[in-house]
Structures are given as structure tokens and as C-alpha cells.
Structure 1
Amino acid sequence: MYGELYTSTQKASPFHLNRLSDFKEQNDKRSFVYLDFAVSQAYLDFELLNPNTQSTTYTLSFSYPFIEDVRVYKRKRNTLKEIGFLGLTSGHSPNGRSWNTQITLAPHERANFYVVFTKSEGKPLATDMNLHTKGRFDQLSALQNTLIGSYFGLTLISILFALFIFYATQYSNALLYALYLISLGVYMAAYLGYINLIIPASNLDNGRLLYVLAIEFSTLIFVLFAQELLQAKKYLPQLKRVVEIIIGVQVALRLVFHFITPSLYEAQVALFMKFWYATILFLVCAVIAEIVVYLRYNKKVGVYFAISYLFMTLASVFMLLHHSFGLVKVTFFGLSQILFASVLEILFLSITLSLIIRQIYSDRNALAQKLLVQQQKFLNAYVQGQEEERRRLGAELHDNIGSRVSNIRRLFSTKPNKKDVEKELDQVCTEIREMAHALTPADIQLVGLAGVLEDLFQEVEETEGLKMQFNTYQFPEDLDEEKATHLYRIVQELVQNVIKHAKASTVSMQLFGHDESLTLSFEDDGQGLSATDSGEGIGLQNIRSRVDQLKGQFCWTPVHKTALQSWSLFPLNIPEFWY
């Protein structure tokens, strides 16, 4: 900072030499200009000497892009000549991303200058004030623009990376991360002064509003992103709800104060800023608590996220202390530490996201391997069941049909009784037909699935005493035999489950045909299963396997039913099975 700082808390008025007594010297040793909440006007005076034998142009620049009113005067004897008018109220856009003005001195000229700041009460102001030769200023600006361009390039790559992850994995938090990077980019563009180059000179104050909103929303989006990444809903659900309530209140207050009652905001800005600081402090602590808990379950991901959070939190605290209280200033190459901290944050957050995606794929592969093992077990059980069925059929042929054929042979070896022979032959035919029917419902080709099911239900009613209700609606009669057989086996399995376990008195089943789908609805009034019983026996696994082969959807409700429940139908382009 050049010269001594003088401040005034009186109402701002045009500056002239007769008003110097209205200002109080601050004896400020800061390397930057800081005006606290109560100050309305301030000035710096300094002397500048041109040691060269030719005219030299100097550039006086200010780092803060939202200074309201800065006027630069050159003193000639007892008069002041205005040589620069900068800021949001100046009526013109800045010359470059930072506010600056040119000072030209003749060879060996010595001159006194006053830099006068005018600002709104209730808002602090912190800004660097640098004086360089024009050549040095251009060199420094080129370096800064290169660093800033690299930052925005990294941000754009990270946004595309997050969108690609969302597209490839449907991990919704990646989309929230991309949204955070966008809001962070808007905030940086405003803080670095680029927004002022876009907004018309007459509306420059909207750039400050955009800057404030970008701070708010980038903070809130980051907290929401952290909530999801750290699985706060699983580990700290109550804290998550409190955080969401505070975020909602913050957003509502911002919208009301800035867009509905801006005059109220201007009148109570100090109170609102205290509330904002308090809520931000709470959110920071809440995320820290969530990190500590998450580290117990996923240390590697938690550590990377904690490092990224540490960089940005410290930089944000330093920036807050600098701009609001004038306590700390950390810059590199004339740029705020928040830019470099943001670079580190983005790098570590992207690594964190990569680790999460890697973990997701690892879990999916493990699940796929587990499913493969389960399928193999099911296949083995299926093959074993086939072998057992063959042994059963062999026993049936040997014990029942074989013995009856032997009995018929014995009858023919003696003088046979016609009625006895006919009775034995009828019994053999009946048992063969039942065995064949158990192996494959051959009648499907002749009478269709509905006809075969009616026969099945009639037989169940006669043998088991169950009341069977069966209806069809627009069900195709020419259904593919393979699909019809699968459906028949599914119904057989369901009926057997009812007979063995349900203790039901009534069964209701419907078959519906749609344009491109089929629906089979099966209900009973039995005792059902308890909430803790998964019910995933071989029978239901067999049903699920057949439904999967039909590329359908099996919707099963294993609950106690005191009466037949009403069912709902949602047409799909695949078969449906409701139970």
C-alpha cells in the first residue's frame, strides 16, 4: 500500500482539499487497503517521482473487482485534477479484468496524488493497490491470464469428466459434482473480474450480485455433494436433515433479500452477514463431522475427500478474514490463494470420484461373480432335480406300471377274465397318461394354455377342496408352445405352494393379453409369509428362472392376506407376472 490511509465515517460527499480535516489517520501497516463496515469514505496520499529522462507511464491497479467508487486526483499546488474514475458507479467498464488507470509523469517530474475510496456503509472493502510501469503491468497481466486460463481449462475438463461418469455409470452424485464445478467457475470468473467485462457498464452492480449468489450456491451445492458422497443419509441421517433445512433457509433468504425486498437487505446487511457467517460455520463443521464418521468405513476415499476439503476450507477462511476483517492476505503472482486452493480441490475431488467409481465397478463385478456362483448352484440343483425325477419315473415304471404289466401277462397265461384285463389296461393307461402329463402338458397343442389350466384347476378342486377362480381376457389362443409351457409350469408351482404352505381356501388367477405383453395374476387368501421370511425356496427360484427366460417381470408380495386383494395392472412391453 502506498502512502498513509485516512478514513471517515461521515456521510460521503465530493472530495476536496478543504475536507482533509474530516478524515482520521489510521496508521495502518497493512500491505493492502482495508476499510471496515462503518467507513464510508477514505483516501490515500502519496508522492511519485519519475527518475527517467523521458516521460514514463505508470499503471495504478486494484485487485478487488467490485470496488464501488475510486477517484484518482493529481495535486497541483492547492488544486486537484481528477485523472481517473473507477468502480461500479463510474459508468464505464474496467480496462481489462481489473480496475486500473494510467498515470503519466514528465521527465524528472515529482507529483502528489490522492486516491479516494467511497463505499456503502455496512460493507467492508479489502483490495490490493499496485503501481507498476506499463511494461511490468502488461507482463504480470499476461502471466496471471495464463494461470487463470489453465484453471478454467482444468475446470472444464473436470466437468466433462463428471458428465462422462454420470453417462457411463448413472452415478447421480457425479452430476451434482459437475453442477458444483459450474457454480464454482462462475464464482471465480466474477471474483477475478471477468464478469465485469461481460455486463454492460450501466449494470455493473449485477456482477457483484452474481458474485454473491455464486458464493452462496457453490457452497450449498458442495455441501449437498459432500452429503451424498459421505453417505450422510446412512451414517448421520439426523445431521443430514438439519443441514438440508439450513440450506433451504439460506436459499430462501437470499432470494427474498436480493429479488423481493432488496431495500430490507441494504438496511439489515450487517445482521444478515452475521447470520450467513454463522450458518456457513455450522455447515463447515457438519461436513467435518461427516468426514470423521465416513473415515471409519472407507478410509481411502475419505482421506482424499478430506484433503480436498481442507484446501478449499482454509482458502475460504483466509479469504473471509481478508475481505471482511482485513486480517490475512495470501497471494501468488498477484492472484488470491483461493484460485490455487481451488485447483488442488478439483484435482483431489476428481481423484475421489475416480476411486468411488472404481469401487462401484468392483462391487458390481463382485455381485456379478456372486450371481454367477448362484446361477451355477441353481443349475446344479436343476440337474440334480432332473436326475431325481428320472429316478422317480424309473421307480414308477418299475413298481407300478411294470407290476401291472406283469399282472396282465399273468392273467393271459391263465384263462383271462375280460373285465379284469380291461380294468388293468385302463389303470396302466391312466398312470402312463398322468406321468406323461407331469413331464409335459401335451394338451396345450390341442386345447391351448387356458384349456389345460382349466383342467388343472378342476382336478385341484376335486382332490384338494380348493375353490379355484380363473378368468382370461384377450389372451392369445395361439401362444407359442414354449412360452405356454413355461406359464403352465409357473402356475403348477404356485398351486403346489398354495397346497403345501398357504392353508388357503380360495385361489384367484387371471390371464390378460395386451398389444405386446401378457399378464398373469395369481392370488390366494392363505396365511402368506412373515415379514422376516424371504421365501426364496427352490420353487420360487424356479419361477424366477422361467420368468427371466421369458424376459418378463415377477412381482411377488409375500404378506399375510385375510382376503383376496385387488390387483393393479401396468402395461409394459414385456410379460408380467403378479403374485
Structure 2
Amino acid sequence: MKINCFKISLLLLWASFAQAHSLDSLFSNSIVNKQSLLGDAVYMKTDDQVTIDSVASLFLKHQAYTPLTKINLGYSPQIIWVGVPINGFTSDQDLLLEIANPQIDRIQAYCVTNSGIQLLGNPTGDNLPFHSRSYAYRNFVWPIKECQSPNFWVIVRLEKKNSSMLIPIALWNSSAYHEHEFRAQIFFGICFGMMLVVALYSLIGGIFYRSSVYLFYFLFTISVILLLATSEGLSLQFIYPQSTGFNSIFRVIIISVASGLLLLFSRSFLNIVRYSKTIDRTLLVILCIYSLLLSLTPFLRDFYFTHSSFFVPLIILMSIVSNLLCVIVAIISYRYQKQIALFYLVAYSFTWITAVVVSMEDFGWIEKMEFNPLFMGALFEILIFSFGLSYRVRLVIDERNQLRIKMAVQQKETLKAYVNGIEKERNRIAGELHDDIGSRLANLIRMIRLKNEPGYLEQQAETIANDVRKLSHELAIPRHGTIGLPPLILQLVADAKAGTECAFHFQHYDIPENLPDEIVQQTYRVVQEAVHNIAKHAEAKSVDIQLFFRDQELTVTIEDDGKGFELNSVASGLGLTQMKSRVESLHGRFELNTAPTQGTQLMITIPFQVS
């Protein structure tokens, strides 16, 4: 690379005026297991054009660098060079230099001595395939014994221009590092295994209960697994090791997906729309923004990276705002759904505690932990949410059991009303036979015995015969299997006209000829009861009855201009209960509208598939 002489001259001029910094070299024989290099390492920032030769010269002269005292160096468009001076190194020492940040875009290590510069491994990084690494570790690791010198500098060039630069740098004893990685793999396996079990449980629950909240949680758990694997460098190592430049965009995508799925899960889990429609609408807007960004990612990838200083804070801000809004709803709804809200708040508390711990690590306020705290926070959050889902399952089961009990009670009451109706009808028939027809028959017998008034005898016999015929028609539908439903209702209307001054009008359209007997019988009984009630109670002048078949449904409408009634006062009456039960037995719909002085409108709809 061609050196920008002007910039290097300025850098050297600044170094000549800078206060000299005394740096004690690190003695390699002091490393037992692991030693953080914060305070021992130094760094400087340069432009792209500055080469390793110029930087090495400055490091060897102890000029122009700054002690590395914190992990997080923030956003920077410049190249960062980190130097570690080592003295007293012997060939029998097996030490590894590690930078535990797998998200650095490009990275290259060098061994620098007074006699020359040596590459330490291949150029590699987050934007290059995993096989570009000379040493197959999820983090960036270099065995420094390849420097082959007792006194030297290890200088690392780091490039990460579109996000914050974290440099957790340390020297490890090789055996201690491999033992640490072995424990880490076990830890990852346990965490991912438990999360997969929760995900599988959620998937089964979603399928079994047909509930979106379980499916949202299943997808959220999978996205968290991918997010954690990507943050630890495992996705590039095992899922897409051949990709070039995909890992950075995948990390942004999976953060957006996980945030969006958490929003969807929270809306369902807390039933946010019930407690705050304003917050629910705000969350829907945030979800739309997430969806828009994700849908445009394949087309605007370079634009996103160029303006990542805007988009990354935007995504973080939306995530913080949406999480706070969900927490607010959980607090608001605590008095109404105490257990659900409590599960949510406790789960979120682990997330916030973890975020605080990670931030303290990044700013160097506490020592970096052996294992990523994000794993522990995410694992506890997922487990607590799974307990919350289990509690929700119990609530669903309890609600279903209560519904079954209510349905059983309703069915029992309906059956009781039906039986009472039958008994009442039997008593009415018995009364008619005993009080009316029976007495008239007795009178007829007496007249026959007296053998007088033959005209009166003939009239009485004819009246009794007509009453018996009418009673039998009320008890049994005449020949419905052969004449069909419209003629039956037509005959019913003709009989009603004969006994009242009310004008009955009946129309029918497109009625199938193959209606099942059960539909004919139950429909006829409902119309019969309605006509009987109108004639007896409505004081109507006109009644319109329509029977038609459309869209695989048989529909009957009955309207009168009578005095109407207060629906609530008779809604549980025997007649209406029986009519409604007959319609529901055919899986139909029963609709009744009425009010005092407003007449009555009845519509029944019965599904029927024409063969």
C-alpha cells in the first residue's frame, strides 16, 4: 500500500511534541493461566493508508500511542493498531494472544522486532470466510511462539468502521485456554440445549392449542439462539463458514427479527390491545418499521452499512422504546392479570440486569466474565417465559373446563325445558280431550240415547271430527316426506287465516326437493310455534313469511306488525327456548328482534349442502 507521507509526517510531528509515555514490557514468564492486557497494551488510530512499517517504527520508538485502559473504544472511522511489548520469551513457552471479539471486520497480527516485521497468521475477520483463519478458533487467536524472538512487539491491525470497537485482549497459557474453550463449549451446549427444549415445547403447544402466542415464542427462542451463536462467532464457524461479508448483515437482521418477534410475543402474552390501544398502535408502527427495514435489506445492504451510524442506533432505540412500552403495559395490567404480568416483569428484569453487566464489561468498569452474561440473561428470560406459558396453558385448560361445565349446564337446562315442553303439550292435549272433546262426546251419547234433534247431532259430530283432525295435525306433520316443506307451511298459513282476521302472506323461492326429514320437521315446528304465538298474542294485522334457499343455507323470515314485546322479559320462555333449541340442533342460527309497539322479526338460517 502506498504511504501517505504528509499524514505520516503530521503523525511523527505530533509524536515529537507528545509527552513521553513510559511503557513496561510484559515478561512472558509471568503468565500462568490468563492475563488481561488492559494497561499493558497500547493503541493508536490512523487512516487506511498508513502501513505496518510506519506504525511499527512508532511503537518501537515508544511514540504516538495511548495506553489501552478500556475495552470499548467507541465508534471510529479509522484503523486501530494495538501493540503488546513482550520480553524474555523462550521457545518452551506456549502462549496465545486472544482478542475475544469475533465481530471485527478485518484483522491482521504482526510480530515486530528491531530486525524486521513478520506476518502472524493470515489476514482474516468477520467479513471473510472462516477458513481464512490460520487458527480455527471462534475468537481471534495467535500463538506468539511463531515470533521466534525473546523480545518483540505483537501489533494487531483492527478494522471495524461501522460499529463500536471492543478490544478484550489477553494472553493465555495454551493449556489454560483450551480448557477454557472446552468449558465454554459445554456451557454453550447446555444453554442451547435448554433453549431448544423450550422452543420445541412452545412449538408443540402452539400446534396443540392453536395459539399464536406459543408460535411467536417458538420463533423468538430460535432467533435468540441464532443471535447468541452469532455474537459468540459460532454462526460463522458452523452455520455459514464459506460466506463473505454475510455475518455483519446477518447480525443486524437477526437482531431486528428477534426484536420484532419479542414484540409480537409480548402483544399476545400481555394482551396489550386490551389494556392500552395507544401503546398497541405504537408497537404496531415499530413492527412495521422493522418489517420495512428487513424487506429492503437485500436491496439496500450497502446503503445500510454506509449509514450504519444512523440505522444501528435506530434499531437499538426502537428496541428500547418497545421494551419499555411493554413493561409499562405489564405494570398497568398487574391488577387485572397479576401472575402473567409478574412473569413478564421478572423475565425482563434478567434482561435488563444482563444489559447493565455487559455495558459495565464493555466500559471496563468490571472484569470481563469467563462466560458471556447475555447467555445467562437470555436463558433465564426464556425459562421464566416458558413457566409463564405453562401457567397460561393452565389458565386455558381451566377456561375450557369452565366452558364445558357451562355448556353441560346449558344443555341440561335445554333438555329440561324440552321435556317440560313435551309434558306441557301432553297436559294440554289431555285437557282438550277431557274438557272439550270428551264432554261433547258425552253430550252426543246422551242425545243419541234420547233419540231427538238429529240436525244438532250431525252438527256436533262434524265439529268433534274437525277438532280431532285439527289436534292430530298439530301433533303430527301430515305427509311431509312426500309433499315437501313449502306446501306444509302453506297449509299452516291457510289454517291460521281461517281462525283469525290477520292477513298472512307466504312466499318461497328455490327450495330443494331433497331436504332431509329432520330439517323439514324442525323448521315446520318453529314456523308453527311462531304462527301460533302471532295469532294468540301479537294482535297483528299483517304477517309476512318467506322461505328461500341461497348460498347453501335454508332461510325463513317471519315479520309481523303487531304490538311486539320486551325481549328480555320473555327470552327464557318455554316457546322461544324450544324454537331456539330446534334451530341449534340443526347447527343453525336463530335471530329475534322485537320491541313494544314495533312488531317482531324472526329469522332462522339452517345450513344444508345440496347434493
TM over 0.5: same fold? yes
Q: Which residue does 1:362 correspond to in 2?
A: 398
Question: For 2:100, which of 60, 63, 71 is the aligned residue?
Answer: 63
- Is residue 14 of structure 1 aligned with residue 51 of structure 2? yes
Do the aligned residues in 2 keep the contact of 1:61 with 1:100 (CA within 8 Å)? yes
Q: Which residue does 1:553 correspond to in 2?
A: 588
Question: For 1:216, which of 239, 242, 256 is the aligned residue?
Answer: 256
Do the aligned residues in 2 keep the contact of 1:58 with 1:103 (CA within 8 Å)? yes
Cα deviation for residue 226 of structure 1 reads 0.7
Q: Which residue does 1:111 correspond to in 2?
A: 152
Distance 1:498 1:271, change over 3 A: farther
Cα deviation for residue 221 of structure 1 reads 1.2
Q: Which residue does 1:146 correspond to in 2?
A: 186
Distance 1:77 1:386, change over 3 A: same
Do the aligned residues in 1 keep the contact of 2:490 with 2:506 (CA within 8 Å)? no
Distance 1:285 1:504, change over 3 A: farther
- Is residue 183 of structure 1 aligned with residue 223 of structure 2? yes
Cα deviation for residue 230 of structure 1 reads 0.7
Cα deviation for residue 12 of structure 1 reads 5.3
- In the alignment, the residues of structure 2 paired with residue 568 and residue 436 of structure 1 have an alpha-carbon distance, to the nearest angstrom, of 26
Q: Deviations over 1:388-446 (max 9, x none)?
A: 22322222222211221121022112122222111111111122222222222244256
- In the alignment, the residues of structure 1 paired with residue 531 and residue 62 of structure 2 have an alpha-carbon distance, to the nearest angstrom, of 98
Distance 1:298 1:569, change over 3 A: closer
- In the alignment, the residues of structure 2 paired with residue 537 and residue 411 of structure 1 have an alpha-carbon distance, to the nearest angstrom, of 43
Alignment of 1:162-201 (within 5 A): 162-198=202-238
Q: Which residue does 2:546 correspond to in 1?
A: 509
Q: Which residue does 1:98 correspond to in 2?
A: 139
Q: Which residue does 2:30 correspond to in 1?
A: none
Local SS of the residue matching 1:260:
coil
Cα deviation for residue 347 of structure 1 reads 0.8
Cα deviation for residue 244 of structure 1 reads 0.9
Cα deviation for residue 559 of structure 1 reads 8.1
Cα deviation for residue 153 of structure 1 reads 1.5
Cα deviation for residue 319 of structure 1 reads 4.0
- In the alignment, the residues of structure 2 paired with residue 436 and residue 489 of structure 1 have an alpha-carbon distance, to the nearest angstrom, of 14
- In the alignment, the residues of structure 2 paired with residue 536 and residue 87 of structure 1 have an alpha-carbon distance, to the nearest angstrom, of 77
Do the aligned residues in 1 keep the contact of 2:555 with 2:606 (CA within 8 Å)? no
Question: For 1:75, which of 101, 108, 112 is the aligned residue?
Answer: 112
- In the alignment, the residues of structure 2 paired with residue 486 and residue 166 of structure 1 have an alpha-carbon distance, to the nearest angstrom, of 40
Distance 1:116 1:108, change over 3 A: closer
- In the alignment, the residues of structure 1 paired with residue 379 and residue 93 of structure 2 have an alpha-carbon distance, to the nearest angstrom, of 38
Alignment of 1:364-379 (within 5 A): 364-379=400-415
- Is residue 284 of structure 1 aligned with residue 323 of structure 2? yes
Local SS of the residue matching 1:239:
helix
Q: Which residue does 2:73 correspond to in 1?
A: 35
Q: Which residue does 1:475 correspond to in 2?
A: 512
**Which sits farther off after the overlay, 350-359 or 124-133?**
124-133
Local SS of the residue matching 1:335:
coil
Question: For 1:492, which of 518, 528, 534 is the aligned residue?
Answer: 528
Letter in 2 for 1:187: L
Cα deviation for residue 87 of structure 1 reads 1.1
- In the alignment, the residues of structure 2 paired with residue 557 and residue 314 of structure 1 have an alpha-carbon distance, to the nearest angstrom, of 59
Distance 1:496 1:352, change over 3 A: farther
- Is residue 301 of structure 1 aligned with residue 336 of structure 2? no
- In the alignment, the residues of structure 2 paired with residue 385 and residue 34 of structure 1 have an alpha-carbon distance, to the nearest angstrom, of 83
Q: Which residue does 2:281 correspond to in 1?
A: 241
Distance 1:236 1:338, change over 3 A: same
Distance 1:327 1:543, change over 3 A: farther
Do the aligned residues in 2 keep the contact of 1:97 with 1:194 (CA within 8 Å)? yes
Cα deviation for residue 472 of structure 1 reads 4.9
Distance 1:548 1:531, change over 3 A: closer
Q: Deviations over 1:55-112 (max 9, x none)?
A: 3333323322211122211122142211133313556534133232222269994433
Q: Deviations over 1:345-378 (max 9, x none)?
A: 1111111001111101101111211222222222
Q: Deviations over 1:188-216 (max 9, x none)?
A: 22112122125666743211111111111
Letter in 1 for 2:154: F
Q: Which residue does 2:7 correspond to in 1?
A: none
Distance 1:330 1:300, change over 3 A: farther
Local SS of the residue matching 2:52:
coil
- In the alignment, the residues of structure 1 paired with residue 238 and residue 166 of structure 2 have an alpha-carbon distance, to the nearest angstrom, of 23
Cα deviation for residue 288 of structure 1 reads 1.0
**Which sits farther off after the overlay, 464-473 or 409-418?**
464-473
Distance 1:571 1:443, change over 3 A: closer
Q: Which residue does 1:340 correspond to in 2?
A: 376
Local SS of the residue matching 1:223:
helix
- In the alignment, the residues of structure 2 paired with residue 321 and residue 533 of structure 1 have an alpha-carbon distance, to the nearest angstrom, of 69
Do the aligned residues in 1 keep the contact of 2:512 with 2:610 (CA within 8 Å)? no
Do the aligned residues in 1 keep the contact of 2:42 with 2:84 (CA within 8 Å)? no
**Which sits farther off after the overlay, 504-513 or 416-425?**
504-513
Do the aligned residues in 2 keep the contact of 1:506 with 1:525 (CA within 8 Å)? yes
Rg (Cα) greater in structure: 2
Do the aligned residues in 2 keep the contact of 1:72 with 1:83 (CA within 8 Å)? yes
Alignment of 1:335-484 (within 5 A): 335-445=371-481, 447-462=483-498, 463=500, 465-473=502-510, 475-476=512-513, 479-480=516-517, 482-484=518-520
Do the aligned residues in 1 keep the contact of 2:417 with 2:577 (CA within 8 Å)? no
Cα deviation for residue 478 of structure 1 reads 7.5
Cα deviation for residue 145 of structure 1 reads 1.1
Distance 1:297 1:382, change over 3 A: same
- Is residue 156 of structure 1 aligned with residue 196 of structure 2? yes
Do the aligned residues in 2 keep the contact of 1:461 with 1:468 (CA within 8 Å)? no
Do the aligned residues in 2 keep the contact of 1:309 with 1:345 (CA within 8 Å)? yes
- In the alignment, the residues of structure 2 paired with residue 530 and residue 250 of structure 1 have an alpha-carbon distance, to the nearest angstrom, of 53
**Which sits farther off after the overlay, 144-153 or 344-353?**
144-153
Cα deviation for residue 518 of structure 1 reads 6.1
Local SS of the residue matching 1:66:
coil
Cα deviation for residue 513 of structure 1 reads 9.2
Q: Percent identity?
A: 20
Letter in 1 for 2:81: Y
- In the alignment, the residues of structure 2 paired with residue 373 and residue 308 of structure 1 have an alpha-carbon distance, to the nearest angstrom, of 40
Distance 1:558 1:192, change over 3 A: farther
- In the alignment, the residues of structure 1 paired with residue 539 and residue 224 of structure 2 have an alpha-carbon distance, to the nearest angstrom, of 60
Do the aligned residues in 1 keep the contact of 2:507 with 2:545 (CA within 8 Å)? yes
Local SS of the residue matching 1:101:
strand
Do the aligned residues in 2 keep the contact of 1:6 with 1:43 (CA within 8 Å)? yes
Letter in 2 for 1:457: V
Distance 1:331 1:18, change over 3 A: closer
Q: Deviations over 1:287-335 (max 9, x none)?
A: 1111102211121222122111211233245446766xx3666754x32
- In the alignment, the residues of structure 2 paired with residue 488 and residue 37 of structure 1 have an alpha-carbon distance, to the nearest angstrom, of 81
Letter in 1 for 2:108: R
Cα deviation for residue 569 of structure 1 reads 9.3
Cα deviation for residue 159 of structure 1 reads 1.7
Distance 1:395 1:200, change over 3 A: closer
Distance 1:433 1:218, change over 3 A: same
